[in-house]
């Protein structure tokens, strides 16, 4: 027997599925244009002036506002079992908060529990997230060791499960050694996947921390002392050397200092495809070494100059992406390490506030322009993880993931008003220009004149196909971009992948 279909009255159908955004300044990474956007069934159908629109379409007047691709946060940890506890933002609260701040896609990390395989971890995370997410999401998969089984799982994850990136940690008790990095990078290259690293020298950190504890330094100040900038830069350098030896692309998450950015720049000059990601907390919070709530890894650096410099590296394309590394623990969980800083669960918030704080510290401060803002908050992540041009751009055929941004309004960030589950906010009290007045997720208006109306389970798992042209063949990619002008880029991207897979 077929299930009876509930009929939706025509006027509701049209208001839900058809939307016209008029008079806005449409910002893409390469240009700003004045125009209107017509959306139907979650997809951008028309762009330009004097569009012919069906009756009953809802209109939003975006005069005086920027209309930008919704943010893509490629670094979140929702419901993450870590350091003996679990992060408090789950896939519902986390994606709801993301949308409130103008982010419409997140990419989380499937992290294997002890004894769990990467493939099983992927399934565990699909079960946690599907049905809860309010916006689209993808998954990177973490590799906490190396074996033939891990290698086979990588093959299956890339071939059948829509995964194209793998993360390896150079610190923590699940750190991998240089030989394992070498093998994993090499296999990523063969698969057309992206190798990511959390780059800090874990062995040096263990020794430094042991010495500090022996001297009686047990408080949170020991965290940054044990993990200075050069300990991060050394690991970044080592990862770049290995990527160069293997000939694989590399993505360095959590770049927190000039030293690391300069290493990345040096390897880019040598022809290595290496990308760097900066966290919102690193550009908007000055580290206070005695505050466990600000403790994350690598640490938020305590020099204000580090923040401005990171933004300049983002402006000049030495670094390409911003994320949040949202990994939230309540104050009671942070207290697990009150007698030993090594036991303070690492991580801070940022999924909700990333767009605002990058706008404030970058665009409002005059370091980056609105197009570069779009590149570093959305487009570059879409390109690297092969979601472009479906996401990361306002173009005909792209998903209707859009933020309407009022740069003249301000809001003050506070845990009292945020939508995250965590009981404090590392940006507390910061006033930001730039307020998302409307956030459209797959064509659905989820922030409507500033009011949040999300739908649990409205988001979908988004496959990230291997061999992103942007990463694996930049020259070919430029051709694709030219072809994009006549609307054929999507098809070409698919062909490109097919050719690679057949080789
Ligand atoms: O401190 C952090 N960043 N916590 C989350 C785990 C990680 O390193 O990404
Ligand atoms: Zn990390
Ligand atoms: Zn992380």
Residue ranges near ligand 3 (ion) with Cβ within 5 Å: 325
What string of H, E and C letters represents the secondary structure of 142-210? ECCCCCHHHHHHHHHHHHHCCCCEEEEECCCCCCCCHHHHHHHHHHHHHHCCEEEEECCCHHHHHHHHH
> What integer pLDDT is reported at residue 485 of this predicted model?
47
Exposure on the CB side of residue 483, measured as CA atoms within 13 A: 13
The Å distance, Cα 481 to ligand 1 centre, comes to 35
- With a cut of 0.85, is the ipTM above it? yes
User: Which residue's C-alpha comes closest to atom 4 of ligand 1?
Assistant: 347
User: Per-residue confidence at 2, pLDDT binned at 50, 70, 90?
Assistant: very low
Over range 383-404, report the average pLDDT: 98
| Residue 296 structure tokens | 């994350």
Q: How far is CA 31 from CA 25, 34, 76, 260, 377, in A?
A: 10, 10, 29, 30, 15
The angle that helices 148-160 and 118-129 make with each other, rounded to 10 degrees, is 40
The Å distance, Cα 198 to ligand 2 centre, comes to 5
Over range 52-81, report the average pLDDT: 98
Residue ranges near ligand 2 (ion) with Cβ within 5 Å: 198
Contact between 118 and 153 under an 8 Å Cβ cutoff? The reply is yes
φ, ψ at 22 (rounded to 5°): -110, 150
DSSP 8-state symbol, 113: P
Flag whether pLDDT at 497 surpasses 60.
no
The Å distance, Cα 108 to ligand 2 centre, comes to 12
Tell which residue, 258, 248, 148, has the closest CA to residue 197: 248
- Supply the mean pLDDT for the chain: 92
| Residue 331 structure tokens | 């104050």
User: Which residue's C-alpha comes closest to atom 2 of ligand 1?
Assistant: 347
Count of other CB atoms within 10 angstroms of residue 231: 20
The Å distance, Cα 253 to ligand 3 centre, comes to 8
Task: Read off the pLDDT of residues 129-149 as tens digits, 9 standing for 90 and up.
Answer: 999 999 999 999 999 999 999
Flag whether pLDDT at 1 surpasses 70.
no
**Mutation test of ligand 1: which of 296, 300, 351 has the most ligand atoms closer than 8 Å to its C-beta?**
296
Pairing, β 43-48 against β 32-40: antiparallel
Report residue 18 CA to chain centroid gap.
28
d(CA 135, CA 323): 16
The H-or-E segment that residue 47 falls in is strand 43-48
Residues in the chain: 503
User: Per-residue confidence at 295, pLDDT binned at 50, 70, 90?
Assistant: very high
Over range 294-300, report the average pLDDT: 97
Tell which residue, 415, 454, 386, 421, has the closest CA to residue 104: 454
Task: Read off the pLDDT of residues 237-264 as tens digits, 9 standing for 90 and up.
Answer: 999 999 999 999 999 999 999 999 999 9
Ligand nearest to the CA of 329: 1
Q: Cis peptide leading into 350, omega within 30 of 0? A: no
Contact between 324 and 350 under an 8 Å Cβ cutoff? The reply is yes
Q: What is the DSSP string of 239-288?
A: HHHHHHHHT--EEEE---SHHHHHHHHHHHHTT--EEEEEEHHHHH----
Q: Cis peptide leading into 389, omega within 30 of 0? A: yes
Q: Assign 142 to helix, strand or coil.
A: strand
Ligand nearest to the CA of 199: 2
Ligand 1 nearest-atom number relative to CA 77: 5
Task: Read off the pLDDT of residues 10-49 as tens digits, 9 standing for 90 and up.
Answer: 333 344 589 999 999 999 999 999 999 999 999 999 999 9
**Mutation test of ligand 1: which of 110, 220, 297 has the most ligand atoms closer than 8 Å to its C-beta?**
297
> What integer pLDDT is reported at residue 131 of this predicted model?
95
Over range 458-464, report the average pLDDT: 98
User: Per-residue confidence at 483, pLDDT binned at 50, 70, 90?
Assistant: low
> What integer pLDDT is reported at residue 473 of this predicted model?
83
The Å distance, Cα 458 to ligand 3 centre, comes to 25
Over range 110-117, report the average pLDDT: 97
> What integer pLDDT is reported at residue 7 of this predicted model?
38
Flag whether pLDDT at 491 surpasses 90.
no
Ligand 1 nearest-atom number relative to CA 109: 9
The Å distance, Cα 279 to ligand 3 centre, comes to 10
Contact between 79 and 90 under an 8 Å Cβ cutoff? The reply is yes
Q: Bridge-partner residues for 141, per DSSP?
A: 110, 166
> What integer pLDDT is reported at residue 138 of this predicted model?
98
Contact between 167 and 107 under an 8 Å Cβ cutoff? The reply is no
Q: What is the largest CA-CA distance in the chain?
A: 74
**Mutation test of ligand 1: which of 346, 350, 422 has the most ligand atoms closer than 8 Å to its C-beta?**
346
Exposure on the CB side of residue 239, measured as CA atoms within 13 A: 36
User: Per-residue confidence at 303, pLDDT binned at 50, 70, 90?
Assistant: confident
Residues with a CB atom less than 6 Å from ligand 1: 77, 198, 296-297, 325, 327, 346-347
Ligand 1 nearest-atom number relative to CA 346: 1
Tell which residue, 269, 262, 374, 272, has the closest CA to residue 319: 262
Over range 382-403, report the average pLDDT: 98
Cβ neighbors of 27 (< 8 A, separation 6 or more) are 66, 67, 68, 370, 371, 373, 374, 394
Task: Read off the pLDDT of residues 305-352 as tens digits, 9 standing for 90 and up.
Answer: 989 999 999 999 999 999 999 999 999 999 999 999 999 999 999 999
Count of other CB atoms within 10 angstroms of residue 116: 15
Ligand 1 nearest-atom number relative to CA 172: 8
Count of other CB atoms within 10 angstroms of residue 104: 28
Chain position carrying tokens 């430029």: 478
Exposure on the CB side of residue 8, measured as CA atoms within 13 A: 7
d(CA 161, CA 342): 36
Over range 96-113, report the average pLDDT: 98
**Mutation test of ligand 1: which of 77, 279, 334, 349 has the most ligand atoms closer than 8 Å to its C-beta?**
77
User: Which residue's C-alpha comes closest to atom 7 of ligand 1?
Assistant: 297
User: Which residue's C-alpha comes closest to atom 5 of ligand 1?
Assistant: 347
């Amino acid at each position: 027997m077929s299930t009876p279909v509930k009929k939706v009255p025509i006027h509701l159908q049209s208001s839900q599925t058809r939307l016209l955004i008029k008079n806005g300044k449409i910002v893409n990474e390469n240009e700003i244009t004045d125009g209107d956007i017509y959306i139907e069934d979650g997809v951008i159908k028309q762009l330009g002036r004097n569009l012919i629109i069906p009756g009953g379409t809802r209109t939003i007047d975006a005069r005086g506002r920027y209309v930008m691709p919704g943010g893509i946060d490629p670094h979140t940890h929702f419901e993450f079992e870590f350091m003996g506890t679990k992060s408090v933002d789950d896939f519902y609260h986390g994606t709801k908060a993301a949308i409130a701040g103008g982010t419409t896609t997140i990419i989380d990390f499937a992290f294997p529990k002890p004894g769990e395989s990467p493939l099983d971890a992927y399934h565990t995370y699909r079960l946690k997230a599907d049905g809860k997410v309010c916006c689209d999401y993808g998954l990177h998969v973490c590799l906490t060791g190396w074996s033939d089984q891990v290698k086979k799982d990588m093959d299956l994850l890339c071939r059948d499960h829509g995964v194209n990136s793998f993360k390896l940690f150079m610190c923590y008790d699940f750190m991998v050694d240089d030989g394992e990095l070498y093998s994993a990078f090499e296999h990523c290259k063969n698969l057309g996947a992206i190798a990511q690293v959390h780059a800090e020298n874990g062995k040096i950190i263990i020794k430094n921390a042991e010495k500090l504890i022996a001297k009686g330094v047990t408080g949170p100040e020991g965290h940054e002392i044990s993990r200075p900038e050069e300990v991060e830069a050394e690991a970044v350098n080592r990862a770049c050397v290995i990527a160069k030896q293997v000939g694989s692309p590399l993505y360095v998450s959590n770049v927190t200092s000039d030293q690391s950015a300069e290493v990345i720049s040096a390897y880019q000059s040598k022809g290595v495809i290496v990308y760097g990601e900066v966290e919102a907390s690193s550009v908007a919070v000055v580290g206070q070494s005695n505050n466990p709530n600000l403790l994350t890894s690598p640490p938020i650096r305590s020099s204000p100059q580090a923040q401005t410099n990171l933004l300049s590296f983002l402006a000049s394309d030495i670094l390409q992406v911003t994320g949040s590394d949202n990994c939230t623990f309540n104050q009671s969980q942070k207290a697990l390490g009150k007698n030993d800083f090594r036991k303070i669960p690492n991580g801070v918030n940022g999924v909700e506030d990333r767009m605002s704080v990058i706008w404030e510290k970058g665009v409002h401060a005059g370091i980056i322009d609105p197009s570069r803002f779009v590149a570093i908050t959305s487009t570059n992540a879409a390109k690297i993880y092969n979601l472009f041009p479906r996401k990361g751009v306002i173009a005909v055929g792209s998903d209707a993931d859009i933020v309407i941004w009022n740069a003249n309004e301000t809001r003050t960030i506070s845990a009292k008003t945020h939508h995250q589950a965590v009981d404090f906010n590392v940006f507390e009290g910061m006033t930001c220009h730039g307020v998302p007045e409307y956030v459209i997720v797959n064509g659905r208006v989820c922030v409507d004149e500033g009011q949040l109306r999300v739908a649990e389970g409205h988001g979908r798992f988004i496959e990230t196909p291997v061999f992103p042209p942007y990463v694996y063949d930049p020259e070919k990619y430029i051709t694709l971009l030219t072809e994009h002008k006549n609307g054929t880029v999507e098809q070409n991207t698919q062909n490109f992948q097919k050719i690679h897979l057949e080789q």
